Structure 1
Amino acid sequence: MNRVVRYFRGLPLRSRLSLLTAVAVAFAVAAVSVTCWFIVEKQLYNKVDDDLRGAIPGGVTAGQYADLLANCTRTPATDNGFGHPQVFYVQVVNSDGTVCVAANSVGLVEATAGDRAVAKRGDTDHLYFRNGVDSDGKPLRVMTRAAVTGGPARAVVQNLALTVAVPLTDTDKTLNNLALVLLTIGGIGVVGAGAAGLWVARTGLRPVDELTDTVEHVARTEDLTVRIPVEGDDEIARLSASFNSMTASLASSRDLQRQLIADAGHELRTPLTSMRTNIELLTRSDETGRAIPPDDRKALMASLKAQMTELAALIGDLQELSRTGLAGGDGPLKVVSLHDTVRTAIERARLRGPELTITSELAPWYVRAEPAALERAIVNLLDNAVKFSPPEGTLEVHLMRGRLTVRDHGPGIPADELPYVFDRFWRSPTARALPGSGLGLSIVARTVESYGGTVELGAAEGGGTVATVQLPGAPTPPPEVPEGA
């Protein structure tokens, strides 16, 4: 059985569909054919039984029964006395099993225990039907009933039964012919169903073949521009549309990956080139013995340190941006206190801009997020405000009902540059001289949007820039129970 199942599973899909269709039709045809055969058999046997009921001799007297028993014979006569062909088997059965064949009988039917029971019972309302054979083995339909006398004074002849039988040759022939016809029609139907199933499978699976060919083409050539025509709105059409959407997403992802690599290479080239130049100056000074003036050497070392810091920050931002999972974080989502996260980020921002004044008004708000990723995004948002704030300037941080605003009093962002502020590696021409990788706000946007929020930058009234973050709330977590309480 397992071998058959493995063989079936190893067949192509269209072959399996064709085979299943043929098997289903075969079962249906077999069920209908068998039912039809039994119904016809029942009707034919009812007709034979009706003929047997009509063949019961009438007007037989007790004396005739006595004569038949007195001259009992098991050999039928060759003529019925009327010159008509003999059709029925007619005989009398005694309760002890003695059989006496009537003169108009075709032949002898062996008595059974059922026949003897009918003779002994003497119930005229009981008709006992059975199948049997004559002395030559010919199939018969046999009816036995209690023997009664004819005429007005009907009486039961004790311990006698009258048996009438008719050959089943024509009936069996009809049933055999019907079985042959049903078998032939069923076989043709099964073969036709298999052929139709194969045609339907080929026609119905043609889109699947096209999809398979396309997938193999993409796997072989990595050509993600291939699209499958979508026709209709059935499951195959939905599958084709999903595949087209998947390839489009993969193509977009690959383009973004290439752009990220190109942008990262460009951004990395600048600090690496500067570091290489400075290191070559220091190396040449050592090789030639020409000492660099202390002030110049100090400036070179400071430049190297700044470039290394910038390079480390750029690599960290790239790692953060390239992480998989929600919001660039790998940890599970938790209910996080946004106001506490903002408060921690403000303390870190004060370290980066100690000369700045940072005011805050934070109302409690909880969100579902990955804590480290959310804090990194808020820190990046505040770092951006610190970077563009004037010396001894003021930062205003406000949180109310999940709406976080960070307002600085810097030079602001030109209106034509606002659409690009969240693009990776994008930096305003006026901010090229400032430290940074151009990835901070991109990380902020990716993080906030992954949690179902929004972020935008705009011009603030009176100058400066205001950043607005809106995050959906989460149920307030239950208070922590101190240990030992």
Structure 2
Amino acid sequence: MQGRLALLTGTSVALAVLFAGTTSFFITRWSLLDQLDHELLASARAAATIIATNPRNDLEDLAGPAITDQWLAVVSAAGETVSVPNGARLFTGPQEIAVARLQTGSSARSIDVIQADGASIEYRVVSVPMTLLDNNDKPTRHAVMLGRPLTALNSTLKSLWVVIVFAGLVGVLVTTLAALWVAQAALAPVRRLSMAVRSVTQTDQLNPIRIYGRDDLGELTKSFNSMLKSLQSSREQQRQFIADAGHELRTPLTSMRTNIELLVADDKAGMLPEGARSEILDDVSAQLGEFSALVGDLVALTRDDHLQRKLEPLDLSEVVESALSRARRRGPGITFDVELDHTQCLGDAQNLERAITNLLDNAVKFSPPEGTVTVTLNSGVITIVDEGPGIAEDDLEHIFDRFYRSDRARNTPGTGLGLSIVAHTAEAHGGTVRAGNQPGSGAKFTLRVPNLTPDAEPSP
């Protein structure tokens, strides 16, 4: 990129210098020729006046010291030319004959003139009309031609062209080198950013990059540092989740392995007392159920189905009723005090039902055997209150963390992921979930899901 920027700058400057130099050269040439034409025309008119007032003057007398670098001639309307003796030889053209015949205007042109020694030199020739009297005193039409060599002017223009070319080359070179230096300095942050990306790829170290300014590249570096910080946080969360999941999975697996080893040993030695084998099998079945529930919770918590699954309009009361039917089967002695309105919302019925079921299971788990669980739905706000011991103040801020279990829940069945799934589902639906305590009762959970207004359109 650095080389391309320098090449682009150098090319642009070269084209600009070429255009400006060429334009300046031709404008200067035109200006010098125009100035020379004015001088020659003035001299030609003066010569025409002298010749007209004294037509018998010898032309050689007119080519005195004042005009030694000029060539003078008189052209008749018939095209006959009388020039200074021993002067340059000039061929009359149609421009001079037209001036002589029409007796109006003037002409100017550049021609190659053959000198007396045979050399060819470029001349600038002008002509003006003039009237002479012949021997019978009759007026005859003529034109005065005056020429001057362009040697000095061409030499000046040649020197000017050399200066333009030299100055242009120097300017292009200096500009290209300056552009190369500026590009190198300007792209230094980009190179540092590129090296940082390469370092992250090669070393897997998410180290932040130093910010050298507050320009656009500085903002880009700041954004890249934010991305690295987010990746680092995500990586730490992933490591912690894997460690926690491994720890939670290890417990049921170890217990099942122990029980299975006992069953295998009993097949060989028959050492277990009567009825113990059935108890071990029941224990294994319960551990398998716990293991399956833990795996299911892990999958539900880590998948991103909510990013792809289409949310549909649904009646939230129907979802709550479906979750209540499950909770009643799991807590046959629990009384459910239910008050639901018909709230329309936009969501995924399966995920919402699982989240509400987790809240109800939590209420059933901590309620006394003959307790009451109060469930209300009002304008998209689901409130579940149990009659259990409630939630300790120290546990409220961690209650929705993965694998977190309070001291009161250590000896109760569960995976420690149920409430995390609730928070995950609420966030996916653009809602919130809060935990607290109901005065005079137990724990209180409030799940809020955005309503779908009657005139709202489902999102794609």
User: How would you bin the TM-score normalised by the shorter chain?
Assistant: 0.7 to 0.9
| 1:140-151 equivalence runs, <5 A | 140-148=123-131
Alignment partner, residue 448 of structure 1: 426
Q: Which amino acid aligns with 2:292?
A: A
Contact 1:101 1:107 (C-alpha < 8 Å) held by counterparts? no
TM-score, length of structure 2 as denominator length: 0.86
Q: Distance in 2 between matches of 1:104 and 1:377?
A: 121
Q: Deviation string for 1:107-148 (max 9, x for gaps)?
A: 24434444444445x262x33333332235422333344445
Against the structure 1 CA distance between its residues 182 and 461, is the aligned structure 2 distance closer, same or farther, given a 3 Å change threshold?
same
Contact 1:18 1:201 (C-alpha < 8 Å) held by counterparts? yes
Q: Which moved more, 1:235-244 or 1:55-64?
A: 55-64
Q: Deviation string for 1:18-72 (max 9, x for gaps)?
A: 222222222232333233323322322221122122122232566977x89xx9x
Alignment partner, residue 132 of structure 1: 111
| 1:29-428 equivalence runs, <5 A | 29-56=17-44, 57-59=47-49, 80-93=62-75, 98-103=79-84, 106-120=87-101, 122=102, 124=104, 126-135=105-114, 136-148=119-131, 158=141, 160-224=142-206, 226-290=207-271, 292-294=273-275, 296-324=276-304, 327=306, 329-335=307-313, 337-356=315-334, 357-367=336-346, 369-428=347-406
Q: Distance in 1 between matches of 2:450 and 2:131?
A: 100
Q: Distance in 2 between matches of 1:426 and 1:293?
A: 39
Question: Is 2:450 the counterpart of 1:460?
Answer: no
Give secondary structure in 1 for the equivalent of 2:48. coil
Q: Distance in 1 between matches of 2:447 and 2:144?
A: 106
Contact 1:142 1:166 (C-alpha < 8 Å) held by counterparts? yes
Give secondary structure in 1 for the equivalent of 2:397. helix
Against the structure 1 CA distance between its residues 42 and 383, is the aligned structure 2 distance closer, same or farther, given a 3 Å change threshold?
farther
Q: Which moved more, 1:448-457 or 1:267-276?
A: 448-457
Instruction: Using the TM superposition, give the Cα deviation of residue 307 of structure 1 relative to its aligned residue in structure 2, in angstroms.
Output: 1.0
Alignment partner, residue 3 of structure 1: none
Instruction: Using the TM superposition, give the Cα deviation of residue 435 of structure 1 relative to its aligned residue in structure 2, in angstroms.
Output: 2.1
Give secondary structure in 2 for the equivalent of 1:469. strand
Alignment partner, residue 9 of structure 2: 21
Instruction: Using the TM superposition, give the Cα deviation of residue 371 of structure 1 relative to its aligned residue in structure 2, in angstroms.
Output: 4.8
Give secondary structure in 2 for the equivalent of 1:390. coil
Alignment partner, residue 7 of structure 1: none
Q: Distance in 2 between matches of 1:113 and 1:474?
A: 96
- Aligned-pair identity (%): 39
Give secondary structure in 1 for the equivalent of 2:433. strand
Contact 1:90 1:105 (C-alpha < 8 Å) held by counterparts? no
Q: Distance in 2 between matches of 1:219 and 1:258?
A: 19
Against the structure 1 CA distance between its residues 145 and 83, is the aligned structure 2 distance closer, same or farther, given a 3 Å change threshold?
closer
Give secondary structure in 2 for the equivalent of 1:110. coil
Contact 2:9 2:179 (C-alpha < 8 Å) held by counterparts? yes
Instruction: Using the TM superposition, give the Cα deviation of residue 403 of structure 1 relative to its aligned residue in structure 2, in angstroms.
Output: 3.0
Q: Which amino acid aligns with 1:288?
A: A
Contact 2:317 2:340 (C-alpha < 8 Å) held by counterparts? no
Give secondary structure in 1 for the equivalent of 2:415. coil
Q: Which moved more, 1:396-405 or 1:100-109?
A: 100-109
Contact 2:71 2:84 (C-alpha < 8 Å) held by counterparts? no
Q: Distance in 1 between matches of 2:33 and 2:315?
A: 88
Against the structure 1 CA distance between its residues 241 and 172, is the aligned structure 2 distance closer, same or farther, given a 3 Å change threshold?
same
Instruction: Using the TM superposition, give the Cα deviation of residue 94 of structure 1 relative to its aligned residue in structure 2, in angstroms.
Output: 5.3
Q: Which amino acid aligns with 1:307?
A: Q
Q: Distance in 2 between matches of 1:94 and 1:277?
A: 135
Against the structure 1 CA distance between its residues 479 and 421, is the aligned structure 2 distance closer, same or farther, given a 3 Å change threshold?
closer
Against the structure 1 CA distance between its residues 189 and 391, is the aligned structure 2 distance closer, same or farther, given a 3 Å change threshold?
same
Q: Which moved more, 1:417-426 or 1:103-112?
A: 103-112
Give secondary structure in 2 for the equivalent of 1:59. helix
Q: Distance in 1 between matches of 2:342 and 2:147?
A: 105
Contact 1:101 1:108 (C-alpha < 8 Å) held by counterparts? no
Q: Deviation string for 1:384-417 (max 9, x for gaps)?
A: 3333333343333333344332222222111111
Instruction: Using the TM superposition, give the Cα deviation of residue 277 of structure 1 relative to its aligned residue in structure 2, in angstroms.
Output: 1.3
Against the structure 1 CA distance between its residues 335 and 58, is the aligned structure 2 distance closer, same or farther, given a 3 Å change threshold?
farther
Give secondary structure in 2 for the equivalent of 1:133. strand
Q: Distance in 1 between matches of 2:65 and 2:31?
A: 31
Contact 2:121 2:149 (C-alpha < 8 Å) held by counterparts? yes
Against the structure 1 CA distance between its residues 138 and 347, is the aligned structure 2 distance closer, same or farther, given a 3 Å change threshold?
farther
Contact 1:457 1:466 (C-alpha < 8 Å) held by counterparts? yes
| Count of residue pairs the alignment pairs up | 447
- C-alpha RMSD over aligned residues: 3.2
Structure 1, unmatched stretches of 5+, are 1-12, 481-485
Q: Which amino acid aligns with 1:26?
A: A
Q: Deviation string for 1:427-484 (max 9, x for gaps)?
A: 112112222211121122223224433221011122212212334445547899xxxx
Q: Deviation string for 1:132-166 (max 9, x for gaps)?
A: 3223542233334444569xxxx9955x5443333
Against the structure 1 CA distance between its residues 94 and 215, is the aligned structure 2 distance closer, same or farther, given a 3 Å change threshold?
same
Q: Distance in 2 between matches of 1:41 and 1:379?
A: 95
Give secondary structure in 1 for the equivalent of 2:148. strand
Give secondary structure in 1 for the equivalent of 2:412. coil
Alignment partner, residue 6 of structure 1: none
